[in-house]
């Protein structure tokens, strides 16, 4: 928002940044100053995007126990060695953060932000076997073209 305001100010009143404040310093449109200006003049304030929180199922303990027993049975029945039992996890690494903030009218309860689902990122997959061996990281990119 600051960049937009500064651009308009430089276009409409090019001498404003040559003016001095009461302290003798050159005028500067700080983030705080711009936020106050926008809140006062346009009645918009910076808000975070809203979304529902992830919910845990009521029977999560039963589901965890069932999963554990299923895994234990497969290990026993098929004699799966520790080297072949692998736990993996993945994490997203953002190359470009699109931000989840926008300016919206004062008092708004729901805030829509366009482009929240658009990501420039890659996924890192990390794995470790039950024997303690750390597996090489796998980096996963999803291409947007036929050449990717």
- Determine what percent of the chain is predicted with pLDDT higher than 90: 33
Ranges of H-type helices in 13-92:
31-41, 60-78
Rg over alpha carbons for the chain, rounded to the nearest Å, is 26
pLDDT tens, 95-142?
A: 766 666 777 787 777 777 666 666 678 899 999 999 999 999 999 887
DSSP state of 109: S
Q: Which among 5-19, 22-36, 60-74 has the top mean pLDDT?
A: 60-74
Nearest to 31 by CA among 58, 11, 52, 4: 4
Strands (E), 12-85: 44-48
Nearest to 120 by CA among 143, 147, 148: 143
pLDDT tens, 17-36?
A: 888 888 888 888 888 888 88
Hey, where are the domains in the chain?
1-42, 49-148
Q: Give me the pLDDT at residue 17, please.
A: 87
CB 86 within 8 A of CB 128: yes
Nearest to 103 by CA among 49, 62, 51: 49
Higher pLDDT: 145 or 88? It is 88
Q: Give me the pLDDT at residue 118, please.
A: 64
């Amino acid at each position: 928002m600051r960049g937009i305001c500064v651009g308009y100010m430089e276009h409409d009143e090019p001498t404003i940044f040559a003016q001095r404040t009461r302290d003798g310093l050159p005028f500067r449109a700080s983030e705080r100053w711009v936020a106050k200006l926008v809140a006062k003049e346009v009645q918009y304030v910076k808000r975070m995007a809203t979304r529902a929180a992830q919910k845990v199922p009521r029977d999560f303990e039963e589901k965890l126990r069932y999963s554990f027993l299923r895994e234990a049975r497969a290990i026993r029945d098929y004699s799966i060695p520790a080297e072949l039992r692998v736990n993996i996890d993945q994490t997203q690494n953002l190359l470009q953060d699109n931000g989840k903030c926008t300016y919206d009218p004062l008092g708004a309860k729901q805030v829509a932000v366009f482009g929240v689902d658009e990501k420039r990122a890659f996924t890192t997959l990390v794995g470790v076997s039950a024997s303690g061996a750390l597996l090489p990281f796998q980096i996963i990119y999803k291409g947007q073209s036929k050449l990717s």
